[in-house]
Structure 1
Amino acid sequence: MKRLLASLCVILALAPGLARAERLKDLASIAGVRQNQLIGYGLVVGLDGSGDQTTQTPFTVQSIINMLGNLGVTLPPGQSLQLKNVAAVMVTANLPAFARPGQQIDVTVSSMGNARSLKGGTLVMTPLKGADGQVYAIAQGNLVISGAGASGGGSKVTVNHLSAGRIPGGATVERAVPGGVGEGDLVLLELNDSDFGTAQRVVDAINTMAPGSARAMDGRQIQVRAPQDINQRVAFIGRLENLDVTPVQQAAKVVVNSRTGSVVMNQNVTLQNCAVAHGSLTVTVNNDPQVSQPAPLSNGQTTVTNKGSVDIKQEGGTLFNLKGGSNLADVVKALNTLGANPLELIAILQAMKASGALRAELEVI
């Protein structure tokens, strides 16, 4: 049971029936205020012999030739480059909302080829493009790699990851993303989780602060009338984001991960009276090598034979009567009486859901 308690991850932040007020900025976001992903292809130079093997990564050689050509260095046709200090990389970054030219953002640099390590490398000037193909930032700088590695005599030791790193403030924004906060005198709020009850409570809180300014469009989007003057609008949105709103309780849900055996429940999960019997099947395969030794002076050969055996054991499943629980603590206590491991518990929860005893939505990820 202790193993099950350790494996059963239960999130119980609040007592049943109680709710806690949250800031509106934690429940919703302003439509249009978002990050934008940027991506670029570049080269990392200055590696200590740990770069790409250029015979296996021809795109690295092509990139080097193109870069040198742009810098005025022309190589003879058919030149074969055997470099070990250069690596082809992908550079990614998130362009924050309201970013302006000259602002610096962090970038992540990841190896594309077969470079063993990017430690000590320098990213040369790399344009970062958005989904529209426009260049929004330029990245360059020294990589920060948190890992370490060493090899010798056929042995190799690696700590953390050496083929990816970051450059804090490594990109400079060159183009701002067009857009403003709302169109005309309207601002749209979008709830992180769609819920009609929470949307109505947000509308009530906003109308208490500014009567008649908010209305719910659906379970996620709320339309708010804001001042048209940009300075007054920013101050108004600042007050909106700090409003206290008590969200309604979410629907009962159980999330299970069949790959890791994790089970997570929220506080609204309940269990009805039911009887559960669960037996386990164990299959054991043994392979016992046996040596056959010939008699002396018989000119025979020593042979090795394998004697295999398969044993199947099925444990009897005891029928347990689980009492219904009105809160999460009672549900966990009832499930622990089964003494099942996490993987078996997943099968039991699915059967409970099918029988109607589990009063919650079951989601398998």
Structure 2
Amino acid sequence: MARLLLLILAALSALCPGLAGASPIRIKDLVEFDGVRGNDLVGYGLVVGLNGTGDGIRNAPFTEEIMSSMLERLGVNVTGEQFRPKNVSAVFVTAVLPPFSRSGGRIDVSVSAIGDAKSLLGGTLIMTPLTAADGQIYAVAQGTVIAGGVAAEAEAASVVSGVPTTGSIPAGARVEREIDFDFASLSNVRLALRDPDFTTAGRIEQAINASFGRPVSRMLDAGTVELDIASTRSGSPARAIGRIENLRIEPERKARVVVDQRSGTIVMGDDVRISRVAVSQGNLTLRIEEAPMASQPNPFSPGQTVVLPRSNADITEEPGIGLAEVEGSTSLAQVIAGLNALGVSPRDLIDILKSIKAAGALHAEFIVN
């Protein structure tokens, strides 16, 4: 099973970089354009219509407060009344306002219970204002919640599938205010690389200038390329970006080894190299078992029960792989072949890669999750 996993990872690692080199990437997939971004929104509201799975008012008094405020805004006087509903839940509502959203447009929202509600299944979110970091209301959410799971409970058993206390409302919020940003008035647009690299930034600059036939962009640093809108003679920043965003270049990436210790997953980039090293690996297992025995006196005789300790300790050492040589590699396929020759499990391979990195023989960035 371990060898099969290593072969699959080797095939994926060897295949994906080859595809990236054969098919250059669009500029729009490598950069973020200055000013073209979303804005986070958040709101606090009520979900009603739950089938007895709402908040317990004693454990979530804020639910009663917001429910009273909402009823009073609707003209219902509830001063001094005692509420004990089980079909209401207080929730946080989150959303992202996409760039260039216009008034009247709709966006998706996510709903999460903040009290002790058991499920939001079948509930309806009541009109909830969504504010941004500046405190202004940019959208209003309302609609039926699609829960992310389901829960069922009986007297002697219960079952939960997914997360029933979270949900979503597709197109559940209407945009009420637009972001005050005049994109058409920009004289320069900066392209911010998601993965800063001097070589990739230089290739983006060259591709843009070659497309227009004159110098219209310049690399500012490893993560920024500036586009001069006037020099493009496109008439507007939108037209200029529309012309360059589909240009394709071949990005340059750092050599990386990424491992996940929880699942034993190992991913290597195409540029990973290992110098010639010798590796030895083995496991030492210490096992201690406790099996105490109770000694009791005979019936109706004086004395008391005594617990006698009984322990068994054992040390087991696996023979290991001996001292194996990993040849200096010049390609990812040779790296994979050399590591597979060690014949160890993926988790042991992670430890071996750590040791090779510590010895200075692994020439790549080592990332552990």
TM over 0.5: yes
**TM-score normalised by the chain length of structure 2:** 0.90
Q: Distance in 1 between matches of 2:34 and 2:317?
A: 58
Q: CA deviation at 1:340?
A: 2.8
Identity of aligned residues (%): 42
Q: Distance in 1 between matches of 2:235 and 2:54?
A: 52
1:126 aligns with 2:128: yes
Q: CA deviation at 1:297?
A: 6.1
Q: What SS is found at the alignment partner of 1:15? A: helix
Q: Which structure 2 residues correspond to residues 229-244 of structure 1 after superposition, within 5 A?
A: 232-244=236-248
Q: Which region of structure 1 is more displaced relative to structure 2, 10-19 or 112-121?
A: 10-19
RMSD between aligned residues = 2.5
Structure-2 change in CA distance of 1:104 and 1:230 (3 Å): farther
| Corresponding residue for residue 97 of structure 1 | 99
| Corresponding residue for residue 80 of structure 1 | 82
| Corresponding residue for residue 190 of structure 1 | 192
1:218 aligns with 2:221: yes
| Corresponding residue for residue 361 of structure 1 | 365
Q: Distance in 2 between matches of 1:165 and 1:319?
A: 55
| Corresponding residue for residue 334 of structure 1 | 338
1:343 aligns with 2:347: yes
Out of 257, 262, 265, the residue aligned to residue 254 of structure 1 is 257
| Corresponding residue for residue 150 of structure 2 | 148
8 A contact 1:3–1:341 mirrored in 2: no
Q: Distance in 2 between matches of 1:65 and 1:296?
A: 70
Q: Distance in 2 between matches of 1:41 and 1:16?
A: 46
Q: 1 or 2 for the larger relative contact order (CA 8 Å, sep ≥6)?
A: 1
Out of 265, 270, 286, the residue aligned to residue 267 of structure 1 is 270
Q: Which region of structure 1 is more displaced relative to structure 2, 321-330 or 221-230?
A: 221-230
Q: CA deviation at 1:73?
A: 1.6
Task: Give the aligned residue type for 1:344.
Answer: D
| Corresponding residue for residue 323 of structure 2 | 319
Q: 1:189-233 CA deviation, whole Å, 9 max, x = no partner? A: 122211111111111111112112111111111111225999644
8 A contact 2:184–2:237 mirrored in 1: no
Q: Distance in 2 between matches of 1:19 and 1:98?
A: 34
Q: What SS is found at the alignment partner of 2:64? A: helix
Q: 1:252-299 CA deviation, whole Å, 9 max, x = no partner? A: 111122333322111110111101112212122223253545446646
Q: Which region of structure 1 is more displaced relative to structure 2, 282-291 or 63-72?
A: 282-291
Q: What SS is found at the alignment partner of 1:194? A: coil
Structure-2 change in CA distance of 1:29 and 1:182 (3 Å): farther
Q: CA deviation at 1:69?
A: 1.7
8 A contact 1:102–1:172 mirrored in 2: yes
Q: Distance in 1 between matches of 2:182 and 2:268?
A: 40
Unaligned runs of 5+ in 1: none
8 A contact 1:277–1:320 mirrored in 2: yes
8 A contact 2:42–2:93 mirrored in 1: yes
Q: What SS is found at the alignment partner of 1:350? A: helix
Q: What SS is found at the alignment partner of 1:264? A: strand
| Corresponding residue for residue 34 of structure 2 | 31
Structure-2 change in CA distance of 1:183 and 1:265 (3 Å): farther
Q: Distance in 2 between matches of 1:7 and 1:194?
A: 30
| Corresponding residue for residue 6 of structure 2 | 5
Task: Give the aligned residue type for 2:247.
Answer: L
1:285 aligns with 2:288: yes
| Corresponding residue for residue 170 of structure 1 | 172
Q: Distance in 2 between matches of 1:230 and 1:67?
A: 52
Task: Give the aligned residue type for 2:278.
Answer: A
| Corresponding residue for residue 21 of structure 1 | 24
Q: What SS is found at the alignment partner of 2:125? A: strand
Q: Which region of structure 1 is more displaced relative to structure 2, 155-164 or 334-343?
A: 334-343
Q: Distance in 1 between matches of 2:184 and 2:314?
A: 69
Q: Distance in 2 between matches of 1:238 and 1:116?
A: 48
8 A contact 2:139–2:176 mirrored in 1: yes
Out of 114, 135, 138, the residue aligned to residue 136 of structure 1 is 138
Equivalent residues, number: 363
Q: What SS is found at the alignment partner of 2:183? A: coil
Q: What SS is found at the alignment partner of 1:63? A: helix
Which one has the bigger helix percentage?
2
| Corresponding residue for residue 60 of structure 1 | 63
8 A contact 1:7–1:261 mirrored in 2: no
**TM-score normalised by the chain length of structure 1:** 0.91
